[in-house]
């Protein structure tokens, strides 16, 4: 049976969960954009278009210390991992496309090696997804429904909340979701049949509002057939190599590792990297297998629509649209992929 919670009771719920030691991450308006931040006294946004940066950084921070290094007389004598945190994490207000993207990261970070930093945080997490009510219409860039998603996708979520005006209709999907219902107590009440019907209508209207479409039929065949085609020179010529398309992408996961020495203390950190950067693939021999932008742009598209599915069984694009509206020279992944199909015609 679906539940509901009034919007003016949400803060009370979050305060209750904070008292239960949850570290809560929620969408916050900051400098005119929406970001997920650890919640303090701020009021989280309840009605927002998707965030500018995806919530993946809660689990895979842009910069993360891996361990401290002990150096004596210029020699490395030991390494100490920082203690792993143990508080439960609540990701509040994730959008369905971003939680589908987390499935890609979950598969990647447990693929050939289990990444303890990522897995520790994911295992502690409970996710409340918000069904999408405002597809990215002003920027007309998202296309989740073309790549297997939905405005009310439940994938990767423990609860799905749907905004029907002054309340959310609340669906618990897992035991972790059930725990939130239990902790919320009488803040949650039964949703009436009218409320549940309204929630379905809201999601239907959001789906109909998505104007961008990508016809994925024949994409793999087109990519496999055009690897050496001059097409990849044409569209990548205007790419600036800034990497924004990858840094904003909820499924991108590449990182670089650096050792730092600050005030005599050494540590190893990892930091997001981008396959769009010139030196991303450079070898110790100085050979660079992707020396020009054509190679790097082609790799991004092939990774999303070919390699990810081959390696992880999941498409590497969830249609969030961030790479489209973030690109300073308007390179549009839908147009690029559709263009590759046109080459074969």
2 near ligand SF4, rule: CB under 6 A: no
Q: Sheet harboring 33-38: ordered strands across?
A: 33-38, 23-30, 89-94, 125-130, 159-163, 167-172, 3-6, 189-190
Kindly state the smallest distance separating residue 137's Cβ from ligand SF4, in Å: 16
Report the nearest approach of ligand SF4 to the CB of residue 171 (Å): 25
Binding of ligand SF4 at residue 344 (CB under 6 A)?
no
Distances (CA, A) of 3 to 148, 153, 191, 281: 27, 18, 5, 50
C-alpha angle 62-51-56 in degrees, rounded to nearest 5 = 35
To the nearest 10 degrees (0 to 180), the angle between helices 293-302 and 333-343 is 90
Are 169 and 201 in contact, with CB atoms under 8 Å apart? no
Single out the residue of 331, 337, 340, 341 in contact with ligand SF4 (rule: CB under 6 A).
331
Interaction between residue 26 and ligand SF4 (CB under 6 A): no
- Kindly tell me which residue out of 199, 327, 337, 340 binds ligand SF4, with binding defined by CB under 6 A: 327
Phi, psi of 16 (to 5 degrees): -60, -45
Q: CB-wise, 196 or 299, nearer to ligand SF4? A: 299
Which of 26, 91, 99, 320 contacts ligand SF4 by CB under 6 A?
A: 320
Q: Does 108 bind ligand SF4 (CB under 6 A)?
A: no
- Per CB under 6 A, contacts with ligand SF4 among 229-268 are 239-245, 248-251
Shortest spacing between CB 143 and ligand SF4, in angstroms: 7
Could you tell me which of 164, 163, 167, 147 has the C-alpha nearest to residue 155? 147
> Which residues contact ligand SF4 by CB under 6 A?
239-245, 248-251, 276, 304, 317-323, 326-329, 331, 333
């Amino acid at each position: 049976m679906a539940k509901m919670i009034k919007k003016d009771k949400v803060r009370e719920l979050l305060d209750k969960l904070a008292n239960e030691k949850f570290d809560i991450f929620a969408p916050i308006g900051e400098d005119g954009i929406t970001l997920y931040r650890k919640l303090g006294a701020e009021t989280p946004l309840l009605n927002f278009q998707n965030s500018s940066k995806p919530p993946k950084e809660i689990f895979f921070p842009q910069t993360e210390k891996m361990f401290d290094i002990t150096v004596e007389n210029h020699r490395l004598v030991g390494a100490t991992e920082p203690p792993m945190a143990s508080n439960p994490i609540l990701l509040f207000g994730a959008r369905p496309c971003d939680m589908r993207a987390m499935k890609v990261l979950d598969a990647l970070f447990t693929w050939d090696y289990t990444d303890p930093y990522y897995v520790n945080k994911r295992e502690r997490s409970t996710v409340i997804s918000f069904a999408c009510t405002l597809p990215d219409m002003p920027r007309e860039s998202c296309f989740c429904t073309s790549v297997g998603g939905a405005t009310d996708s439940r994938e990767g979520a423990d609860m799905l909340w749907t905004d029907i005006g002054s309340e959310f209709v609340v669906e618990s999907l897992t035991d972790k979701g059930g725990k939130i219902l239990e902790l919320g107590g009488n803040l949650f009440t039964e949703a009436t049949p009218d409320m549940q019907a309204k929630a379905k209508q809201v999601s239907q209207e959001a789906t109909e509002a998505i104007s961008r479409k990508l016809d994925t039929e024949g994409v793999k065949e087109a990519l496999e057939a055009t690897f050496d085609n001059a097409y990849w020179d044409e569209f990548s010529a205007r790419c600036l190599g800034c990497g924004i398309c990858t840094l904003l992408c909820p499924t991108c996961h590449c990182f670089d590792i650096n050792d730092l020495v600050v005030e005599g203390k050494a540590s190893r950190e990892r930091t997001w990297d981008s396959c769009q950067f010139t030196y991303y693939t450079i070898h110790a021999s100085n050979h660079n297998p992707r020396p020009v932008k054509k190679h790097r742009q082609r790799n991004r598209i092939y990774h999303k629509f070919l390699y990810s599915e081959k390696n992880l069984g999941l498409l590497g694009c969830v249609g969030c649209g961030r790479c489209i509206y973030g690109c300073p020279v308007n390179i549009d992944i839908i147009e690029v992929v559709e263009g590759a199909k046109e080459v074969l015609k």
